[in-house]
A = this chain, B = another copy of it.
Amino acid sequence: MNIPDKVVNRLTLYHFILDDLREDELYISSSRIAKFLDIDNSQVRKDLKYLDNPGKCRVGYNAKELKKAIEVKLGFKKTRDVFIVGAGNLGSALAKYDSFKDYGMNILAMFDNDERKIGTTINGKEVFNIQKVGNLAQRLNVDIAILTVPKEYAKAVANYLAGSGIKYIWNFTPCILDVPDNIKVWNENLVGSFLQFTNRDEVEDNNNDN
């Protein structure tokens, strides 16, 4: 069953909360989860219905079982190997974002065209010449790339990746890629996120006089 994106997003946030509970907090209610995120209790209960064996009992949810149910449903334990293409600030930040590993994302290598970066290591991940993407993608059986190159190179690099065996691109550039139909692109739209955030009534009102 396909889980709606918003639900996947919230289930991940619930997992953050569960991960942060004290050892002696064995149970958690949906209303407590809701309060943390400032959302409706009914929303949380609806989301948790997507899970198998969420550990529901009289006093709430068994925290460990609920955590495990989310992990199983979202596939945290199914490791996906990925490449980061673009070893600039954002690429480096993502390479150092250790939480990804806990959630099944394994960054195998990084790529750049800058001679000063090639051969260096960022958080244990080696930076290779971008011309080696195809060879390494095949050898290591990797078909997911995180694209963090500067905007002006985004399209050209995406097409290069498409020709190198990459099938999925997580695009962090503010640029719509124009790749063959068999390549799936997921736009991580940071500008859109900011506008979503600031388009909420509260922020709008508060900035009226700017």
Contacts and interface: CB of A to CB of B under 8 A. Distances in A.
A153 interface: no
Interface stretch (A23-31, A156-164, A188-196): A188-196
Given A74-B195, A176-B17, A196-B8, A201 B2 contact: yes
Given A97-B90, A144-B203, A199-B3, A174 B36 contact: no
Nearest to A167: B206
Contacts of A185: 38
Q: Report, as a range, how many residues of chain A touch the other chain.
A: 35 or more
Given A186-B193, A197-B186, A203 B168 contact: yes
A105 to B, nearest CB: 5
Contacts of A8: 192, 195-196, 199
A105 B184 contact: no
Interface of A: 2-3, 5, 8-13, 16-17, 20, 36-38, 74-76, 78-81, 88-90, 92-94, 96-97, 99-100, 103-105, 143-144, 151, 167-168, 170, 174-176, 178, 181, 184-204, 206-207, 210
